[in-house]
Amino acid sequence: MSDTFVVVGGDAAGMSAASKAKREDPEMDVVVFEKGEWVSYAACGMPYYVKGEVEDLNDLVTVTPEEFRDERDIDLRTGHEVIGIDPGAETVTVSGDGKTFEQPYDHLLIATGASAIEPPFDGLGLDGVFTIHAMDEADAIENYVAAHSPDSAAIVGGGYVGIEMVEALSAHGIDVHLYEMLPHVLQPFGEAVAEAVEDHLREQGVQLHLATAVSGFTGAERVERVTLDDESHPADIAIVGVGVESNTDLAADAGIELGETGAIATDEYGRTNYETIYAAGDCAEARHVVTGNSDHVPLALTANRAGRAIGQTVAGNPEQVGEIAGTAIVKAFDLGAARTGIVDEEQAREAGFDPVSMTISAPTRAHYYPGASELTVTLLADRDSGRLLGGSVVGQEGAKRIDTVATALTAGMTVTELRNADLAYAPPFSPVWDPILTAAKVLEGEVADE
């Protein structure tokens, strides 16, 4: 009899695992339980739907439920919630279609994702106050904007979702205020990026309120104002994007160990403390390529890659889930900003490094070639070993150059090795020394000679 692979959660990690397992072993029974109706959707595309650049929410779906069922022969059950796991009996308890039943498994993947954090704000339940993490919310925001034509918006949280929603709502002619508790937006991107993005947001007419704590929202029927400690501002719509938290209750209740980050602890194959139970995606930890420690960076590629690896492993061909560098990129109007590895010096010290960093600005094309803009590059290295620890870039073009740094981190390169990389040059594409190389060249002077 063939094995049964049960997957809890039908998004990136879950559907990647289901698809890969079935592709590797067509005999395997693959059952996916998804409590909602959407599967395999690009949550990252939601701001662009709200902005109006993506016309149909269905465009964000990569593979439809019908395709998973009919073409990939996966037993995908939407509207089914897994409410319990019994690791001893190797069964899950499922609620759906008005009944509750037990489903046995040989291999189980927990891919329950994460949820938007709901801070203890007053008036969070008012009409017109949204979080954005699920497809239904994107639709609700879009409908609300269409129905009420808000004049003003409060975005709470200057992370990448907040920044993207600022752009999305500004496109509707709404006067957008962004509230961030910390002194800077995009905290994981470091100060050089934050300052460039803040300047650009202001240029675009966005009202920035940094180091500002929101206490809640007020309004009669619908949200009307956002309240701070000692003042309040108009807000005809509000979006709260202060981060996500892993959905780990199901796992924790079953005795599955969580890591220090609060997400599910896993080994290099994505396995939990139970031999036949795996976890992947936004609910799981992964190993950081620079520190070697477990970390939690809920991002789409990590989820896809880990899911795919686990699908291959349960099909009998073990594959490691891979390490993460926390590489992220975000568009803020005309700017692109990106980061990878360790950008924060304090974080580097905590990981046992003696960090040194440099920030440079250099043109993205030959200085004489039309259309060049400045790219600001920050690189961080360990002073003694010269090992590259991380970096960030920000500019009107070329933010994907972060991939060069991410690749160097994956390879464990030193600053000198990166400086010696033979990157591509022609006037329309780069100066002779690519900005990444220039940054490496400057930083090299600050690290110990080999």
Q: CB 216 → its own copies: shortest distance, Å? A: 30
Distance CA 336, CA 19 (A): 33
Q: CB 317 → its own copies: shortest distance, Å? A: 8
Distance CA 322, CA 297 (A): 13
Among 4, 75, 433, 442, binds its own copies (CB under 8 A): 433
Q: In the annotation, is 283 catalytic?
A: no
Q: CB 60 → its own copies: shortest distance, Å? A: 6
Contacts with its own copies by CB under 8 A: the residue count is: 70
Among 305, 355, 391, 438, binds its own copies (CB under 8 A): 305
The alpha carbons of the chain give a radius of gyration, in whole angstroms, of: 23
From 210-218, 240-248, 326-334, 374-382, span contacting its own copies (CB under 8 A): 326-334
Amino acid occupying residue 309:
A
369 exposure class (CB count in 10 Å sphere: 0-12, 13-18, 19+): middle
Which secondary structure element, helix H or strand E, spans residue 19, and what is its range? helix 12-24
From 64-72, 215-223, 264-272, 413-421, span contacting its own copies (CB under 8 A): 413-421
Asked if residue 72 lies in contact with residue 165, where contact means CB atoms within 8 angstroms, the answer is no
User: Nearer Cβ to its own copies, position 31 or 321?
Assistant: 321
Quote the Cα angle for 242-321-319, to 5°: 165
User: Nearer Cβ to its own copies, position 12 or 239?
Assistant: 12
User: Nearer Cβ to its own copies, position 376 or 430?
Assistant: 430
From 47-55, 119-127, 235-243, 345-353, span contacting its own copies (CB under 8 A): 47-55
Q: CB 385 → its own copies: shortest distance, Å? A: 16
Q: CB 40 → its own copies: shortest distance, Å? A: 11
Distance CA 255, CA 276 (A): 13
Among 328, 343, 379, 439, binds its own copies (CB under 8 A): 328
Sheet holding 232-234, edge to edge: 214-218, 225-228, 232-234
Does position 379 interact with its own copies (CB under 8 A)? The reply is no
Among 160, 179, 217, 278, binds its own copies (CB under 8 A): 160
Distance CA 53, CA 45 (A): 10
Q: For residue 37, give both structure tokens.
A: 């109706």
Does position 406 interact with its own copies (CB under 8 A)? The reply is yes
Render the burial of 65-102: b for 16+ CB within 10 Å, e for the rest: beebeeebebbbbbebbbbebebeebbbebbbeeeeee
Among 340, 357, 376, 378, binds its own copies (CB under 8 A): 340
Among 267, 345, 417, 446, binds its own copies (CB under 8 A): 417
Distance of CA 365 to the CA centre of its chain: 30
Which secondary structure element, helix H or strand E, spans residue 139, and what is its range? helix 135-148
Residue of 24, 36, 44, 195 marked catalytic:
44
For 179, 183, 184, the CA distances from 214, given in Å and listed in that order, are 7, 14, 15
Distance CA 443, CA 450 (A): 14
Distance CA 184, CA 190 (A): 9
From 46-54, 100-108, 122-130, 235-243, span contacting its own copies (CB under 8 A): 46-54
Does position 31 interact with its own copies (CB under 8 A)? The reply is no
User: Nearer Cβ to its own copies, position 145 or 399?
Assistant: 399
- Reduced to 3 states (helix: H, G, I; strand: E, B; else coil), residue 138 is helix
From 129-137, 139-147, 342-350, 363-371, span contacting its own copies (CB under 8 A): 363-371
Name the residues annotated as catalytic: 44
Binding site for its own copies (CB under 8 A): 12, 42, 44-45, 48, 53-54, 59-60, 62, 160, 289, 299-302, 304-305, 320, 322-331, 336, 338, 340, 366-370, 398-404, 406-413, 417-418, 420-430, 432-434, 436-437
